[in-house]
Amino acid sequence: MANKRDYYEVLGLGRDSSAEEIKRAYRKLAVQHHPDKNPGDKSSEDKFKEVSEAYEVLSDPQKRQMYDQFGHAAAGGGGPGGFDFQGFGQQGFGSMNDIFGDIFGDIFGASAGAGAGGRARGRRRGGRPGADLRTTVDVTFEEAAFGAEKVITVPKAVRCDTCEGSGAKPGTSAQTCAQCGGRGEVAFQQGFFAISRPCPQCNGNGQIIPNPCSSCRGSGQVKKRTQIAVKIPSGVDSGQRLKLTGEGEAGERGGMPGDLYVVINILPHDLFSRDGFDVICDVPLTFAQAAIGDEIEVPTLEGKVKVKIPAGTQPQTTLRLKGKGMNRLGSYGRGDQLVKISLEVPMKLSSEQKELLKKFDELGSNSSQPLHHNFFEKVKNFFG
C-alpha cells in the first residue's frame, strides 16, 4: 500500500475534479494502455490495471469520499469501509469496443445511443457551484484515540432564506436569457469550426434576474457563521483531513454547495506521543530499579497497568504492551504501547551516598558491567 501512487495523480487530475472529468481522463488512459491495443506489453498492462483501480474508487461517490478522507489506508484489505480492488486481472479487462462504444455514445448523444443503449445528454445549466472550504480542528490525544464529536464554527456563504437561494426578489422569478435561449452559451463561426463560449448576457447561467433579491443582491447566498458537528474517527492522525460533503459554501442561484475539508491537528500530550498506531510513553527509572528489577505502574490510554522491570534493564530498553495503542484507522485491531526506559542519574548526593557508591563500584566485576569493561579494553588495545 505504501508504494501506491495517488489515484488523482494516476489519472492526471486535481482533487477538485468533477465526475465527468474523472470519466474522461479514465477513458483516454484506458484506450491508450488497453492490453488489446498493446499485446505483450507488460508495462501497458500494469498501467491499465492502475488506471482501472483508480477509476473504480474515484467514480464511486462513497469510495471517493473515504479515499479523500483516509487515502490508501481506507482500502483496509477489503475490510469494513475499504475498497475491493480485485478483478483487474486479464479476465477483468473490458474490450476496446466497450470503451470506444461508451465514448461514441457520449459524443453523439441520443442519435448514437437510441438503438445501442446510449444515453441522451444535454448541457446542464444552473447556478454556479459553491466553493470548497478548509479549516483546522484541534483534537486531544484521547479524542484521537477513542473518537469524538466536535462542533466547529465556520464562516461561509449559505443559502439566502429570503429568496430561498433563487436570487430573485420574492414574488418574482428568473427569466430565460434571450441571447442564448437558456443554453448558457453562444456559438460563433471561426473558419470551418463552430466555437461555443459562455453567454456574456447571463454569464453562462442560462437565466437572468430582472428583480434581484435585496438580501443577497441576486447571488442566492449570504455570509453567516455556521456551527457544524464533526465526527472524529478513532485512530485519526495529525495532517489527515475529513471531507464533509455539501458543507462548503452555498452555490449561487441554487447551484450545488461545495465541500468542507477539516484538517486534524492533534495537541501534544504530557505523557504520550505516537508513532503511527503505536503509543509511546517514556518512563524514568532509578539506578536501583534498573539494576535489581522492580514492578511499576505505567499509564496507558485506558488506565494504569503493572509492568515488571527485569533486573539489569539498560537505558533505552523498550518494553511492548500489546494492543494498548491507537485503533488502526480503516482496518482492524490496535497498535501497541511502547514503554521506553530511561535511567535517571542522581544530581545531588550526600556524603554517605557518595561513599556507598564508591564502595559499590569497588565491589563490581567485569562480568557485572560488560559494556564498561569491553569499551576500555578496546581503548587500551587501540593505543597499545
CA–CA–CA angle 305, 310, 313 (5° rounding): 110
Q: Report how far residue 78's alpha carbon sits from residue 60's, in angstroms, rounded to the nearest whole number.
A: 16
* Structural class in CATH, domain 269-345: mainly beta
Using alpha carbons, select from 75, 72, 59, 53 the residue that is nearest to residue 17: 59
Give the contacts of 168 (CB within 8 A, at least 6 positions apart): 174, 209, 211, 212, 213, 218
7-113 against 269-345: fold identical: no
pLDDT (tens digit per residue) in 45-98: 888 889 888 898 898 888 888 888 777 766 544 333 344 433 333 334 444 444
pLDDT (tens digit per residue) in 84-138: 433 333 334 444 444 444 443 343 333 333 333 333 333 444 567 889 999 999 9
Residue 94: strand, helix, or coil? coil
| pTM to 2 decimal places | 0.57
| Domain 7-113 CATH (choose: 3.40.50.360, 1.10.10.60, 3.40.50.700, 1.10.287.110) | 1.10.287.110
pLDDT (tens digit per residue) in 179-198: 888 888 888 776 666 788 88
Which cell goes with 91?
479476465
Domain segments of the chain: what residues? 7-113, 125-169+218-267, 175-208, 269-345, 352-384
Highest mean pLDDT among 47-51, 141-145, 210-214, 331-335: 141-145
Using alpha carbons, select from 230, 239, 316 the residue that is nearest to residue 276: 239
User: Would you state the pLDDT for residue 192?
Assistant: 64
Given CA atoms 227, 230, 236, 242 in this order, what sign does their dihedral have? negative
Give 322's pLDDT tier (boundaries 50, 70, 90).
Answer: very high
306-314 contacts: CB < 8 A, separation 24 or more? 307/339, 309/285, 309/341, 313/285, 313/289, 313/341, 314/290, 314/341
What is the DSSP secondary-structure string of 103-142? HHHHHHHHHHHTTTT---------SPPPPPEEEEEEE-HH
Point out the least confidently predicted range of 43-57, 123-137, 248-262, 285-299.
Answer: 123-137
Q: Report how far residue 167's alpha carbon sits from residue 254's, in angstroms, rounded to the nearest whole number.
A: 8
CA–CA–CA angle 335, 336, 338 (5° rounding): 140
Instruction: Tell me 180's DSSP state.
Output: T
Q: Facing residues of 262 across strands?
A: 135, 242
CATH code reported for the domain at 125-169+218-267: 2.60.260.20
Asked whether residue 384 carries a pLDDT value surpassing 50, the answer given is yes
User: Would you state the pLDDT for residue 92?
Assistant: 41
